[in-house]
Structure formats: structure tokens, C-alpha cells
Amino acid sequence: MDAVRIGSKHCRAICAEVGERLRQHIDRTTTLPPQKIIELLRELELRELEAPSIVPSLEDNGRCNAFASSHGE
């Protein structure tokens, strides 16, 4: 079979078109994730709600600012 040479502009255009058609096909055939994945996502959500916050409280932030100002920062 003879090789066909195409320019980079046409190659990019072909790739873009193939990608667009794949996106359209995948969007139409998308299904729900497996039940196990849904269960794991729910468990993760619950654990995130129960986990302590890693965001400093206002009191902690005030202490950081006081520390910085007392050390010339």
C-alpha cells in the first residue's frame, strides 16, 4: 500500500475532526458508572463531611498574623 503524505495543517484538521466525532459518539453512549464506583464515591463524600477541617480558624489566623507582625514580617 502506498503511503499518502499530507501536510501538518491537514493532519491537525483530520485529528480534530476524528476527536470531535469521538466526543459526539461518547456523549451519546455515556452510561452511569458501575454501582461499586457510586458506592465508593458516596463513602468518600461521607468521610469528607466527618473529617476535621484543615482550614485554620479565625483565631488561628489571628495568631499567625500576630506572630508575623511580632517578627517583623
Place 49 in a pLDDT band, splitting at 50, 70 and 90.
Answer: confident
Confidence (pLDDT) at 62: 58
Residue predicted with more confidence, 32 or 17: 17
**8-12, 31-35, 56-60, range with the lowest pLDDT:** 56-60
Confidence (pLDDT) at 42: 92
Q: Residue 38 in contact with residue 32, Cβ under 8 Å?
A: yes
Return the DSSP state at 55.
Answer: S
**pTM of the complete model beyond 0.85:** no
Q: How many helices (H) and strands (E) does the chain have?
A: 3, 0
Grid cell, residue 7, equals 501536510
Measure the CA dihedral 24/25/31/34, to 10°. -110
